[in-house]
Each structure stands twice: as structure tokens, then as C-alpha cells.
Amino acid sequence: MLGAGFTCEPEDARLLGVLPPVIHVRAGAAAATIELIRSEIGGGRLILDRLCQVLLLQVLRDHTSDDPALGPALRAMHDDLRRPWTVPELASVVAMSRSTFFLRFRETTGMTPLDYLYRLRMRHAARLLRDTADTVGSIATASGYRTESAFGAVFKRSTGRTPGEYRNGQ
């Protein structure tokens, strides 16, 4: 048996709000990751942290995929952050009307589909700024923004800091 807890930024915690407080993960896709975590206990902290992040992503993906009404739309957003998603496009992914999808999504996650996408993009961008040396322009593109200036404005509104300030820890 393996137990894990996660400390995260408030923005990330909101995204993780789609998960119940306790999740039983059955052997399967996550089994290999769990074995790697077991083998790293007592070893390098950085590797253990990354493996736990991978496990969390696997659990999040598997949990949301279990909801036939939302899973495919959530996977689509996670798999293609660059795409300029609209609510009608996401609703069509799950063969629902726009209004039914919108209400079901908000009821399940506590946020609208586009708010979820916005938060997902900002979390992704923050991780890239923190963990890579990629240019702000390439991070903007990878996060679904057409221009660096549009990305910078949205990122600052989201975090209170410009991408450069965030990267430099200011």
C-alpha cells in the first residue's frame, strides 16, 4: 500500500478539485509508476517528486476519463492545449448540446469549461517557465496563445507577475 499527499499552489488545487479527497488506485496503468516510486523511497528527492507528479497526472487522467460525459472533453483539452477550444467544440467531442455540456461541466468541476482550460494553460505555462529554458514566445505558443504579448498579459492577470518575473522568482 502506498499513500501520497500533494502540496500545491492554490491555482493547481482548484484544478485538482475534480478529484475526490481519497482515490483508490487499482493496479493497471499506474502500477509501473507506483513500483518506481517504491524503488526511489529513500533515494533522490527530485526523482521521487517527479514520479509522484506523474502518478498524480495518471490518476487525474484515469479519474476524469471514467466520466463518459466529461472524460473525452477533458482529455481533448489536456492533449491539445494549443487549440483554440470553444464550448461548442468541446460539447461536440462528447456529443452533447452546448448548454447541457456547459452545465454538466460546471456542476462537476465547479468551473466553466473555458475557465478550466485557462487555468490548465496557466499551470502548464508556469511549469514550463519554472522547469525549462524555453523562450517566453515558445511557451506562449505551447500554452495556446498566438502572441507573446497576449500570453504575457493573461499570465500577469493570472499570477500577478510577468512571465519573466515568475521565471526569476520575483
H/E element, 162: none
Q: Are 11 and 119 within 8 A, CB to CB?
A: yes
- The gap from C-alpha 124 to its chain's centroid, in whole angstroms, comes to 7
Average pLDDT (128-155) is 95
- The gap from C-alpha 63 to its chain's centroid, in whole angstroms, comes to 13
Q: Are 166 and 159 within 8 A, CB to CB?
A: yes
- Residue 73 burial by CB count (10 A; 0-12/13-18/19+): exposed, middle or buried? buried
Average pLDDT (81-91) is 95
**Topology (CATH) of 116-167:** Arc Repressor Mutant, subunit A (1.10.10)
Delimit the domains of the chain by residue range: 1-66, 116-167
**SS3 for 49-73, per residue?**
HHHHHHHHHHHHHHHHHCCCCCHHH
Helices (H), 4-43: 10-15, 31-40
pLDDT in tens, 29-71: 677 887 888 888 877 778 888 887 787 777 766 666 666 778 8
Helices (H), 66-135: 71-79, 87-93, 98-109, 113-131
Mean pLDDT of the chain: 83
DSSP character for 24? P
Residues 6+ apart with CB under 8 A from 22: none
Average pLDDT (21-30) is 67
- Residue 152 burial by CB count (10 A; 0-12/13-18/19+): exposed, middle or buried? middle
